[in-house]
Amino acid sequence: MIIDVVMPKMGESINEGTILEWRKEVGEKIKLDEILLEIGTDKVDSEIPSSAAGVVVEILASPNDVKEVGEVIARIDTDEDSGIKHSENEEKVDAQAPVEESLSPTVSINHSKIQKDHSTNKKIFYTPVVMKIASEREIPLNELESIEGSGRGGRITKKDILHHIENRKLSSPAPAYKQETVSSIQSGRSEEMHHMRKMISKHMMDSLSTSAHVYVMTEVDMTSIVDFVKKEEGSFKHREGFGLTYTPFIVDAVVRSLKEYPDMNSSINGTMVDYHRDINIGLAVAIENGLMVPSISNCEEKNFLGLCRSVHDVAKRTREGNMDPDQLTGTTFTITNFGVFGVSIGTPIINQPNVGILGVGTIKKQPVVIESNEGDSIAIRSMMILTLGFDHRLIDGSGGSKFLESIRNHIETMDLRDIL
């Protein structure tokens, strides 16, 4: 029986997907729920398991093809005489089987890369994807042979070699290359931009051509919050199972200010302004190939501890690749924290269809003039710079400045008693 494989629906608002990589080729056997291909949408990249066991008899889409949801992209023959083995013990390794990671149309298998494993007296196949990564990262062949493969027949997959590289970084100090050496390594080559970077590029350019970006900045005294986190982080982690960070304090202040300035919690729809009842905070999370902005829904209903748990949950699941595509939509305001990389000031691009985005800088100790009735004094305080980007089509400078000052005031005057 021939089963059609269709482009799956990855979320309510997603109507198409891009073929990123086929894990099987025509003529290859596949088991139920074994990964057949990887697809990408404008929100997330996902591995797609097979809905049937059989033999792949037809592939109707190439890498980088964009297909609508429901469109047939492959066919699988499920007849019993196709010879599928469902038991791992019955599965035999075919030395001439196609490689595990499918290739772009411009890449062919280089059989000179096939090496002999003398300890097991069987051949190990290194796919062009693996060999390309090994070449770029200057991994010698003897080191490549030492990697334990998780693929069929012990083959080394792309994930295996990337995991090995990450472990190698953690276990040994990075070589002190001179600047000119780094430049020579990075130059002189061209490669296809990652799908996620293509999507980010499109969204950012669309936002710049849609919104009239304006920025205002202010300094915030974080001393009381820094002292509070230092005091409570041990007991908090013991109780909750994760660390207490500064992000929930900022989210809490933003939510309070959005209630006071509903214009910042709206979207422009043609000549109409949609004022959102719910406050859904988008939290920019850096991942391997770019950036994702998961949404924390209904923040106006959460207390501070609820915000702590939500911030941790969405950040963890985003980095692990476990976010549902629907959770990457519906934001009404966005926060991006470039301060975690040691940066003080930035000008982030608005996340459409929001009209505002808050950039959070790093916290640094600085000498600050303290004014009081007794006179001025200088003290060492933990200071942070906040940058508000807003859409000038709706928000004027006065409105943006008042909103940012409201956030600053809520942070600096936050009542930390019994907040946890």
Residues serving a catalytic function are: 392, 396
Q: Is 292 helix (H, G, I), strand (E, B) or coil?
A: strand
Which helix (H) or strand (E) segment is 274 a member of?
strand 272-275
Beta-strand relationship, 290-292 and 285-287: antiparallel
Q: Is 249 helix (H, G, I), strand (E, B) or coil?
A: helix
Question: Hey, how many other C-beta atoms are within 10 angstroms of the C-beta on 247?
Answer: 19
Are 105 and 96 in contact, with CB atoms under 8 Å apart?
no
Between CA 200 and CA 207, with CA 202 as vertex, the angle to 5 degrees is 95
Are 260 and 402 in contact, with CB atoms under 8 Å apart?
no
Beta-strand relationship, 45-49 and 66-68: unpaired
- Burial-class residue 218 by CB neighbours within 10 Å (0-12, 13-18, 19+): middle
Which helix (H) or strand (E) segment is 275 a member of?
strand 272-275
Are 239 and 399 in contact, with CB atoms under 8 Å apart?
no
Taking alpha carbons only, the member of 199, 170, 159, 216 closest to residue 44 is: 199
Write the DSSP symbol of residue 328.
G
The length of the chain is 420
CA 209 to chain centre: 24
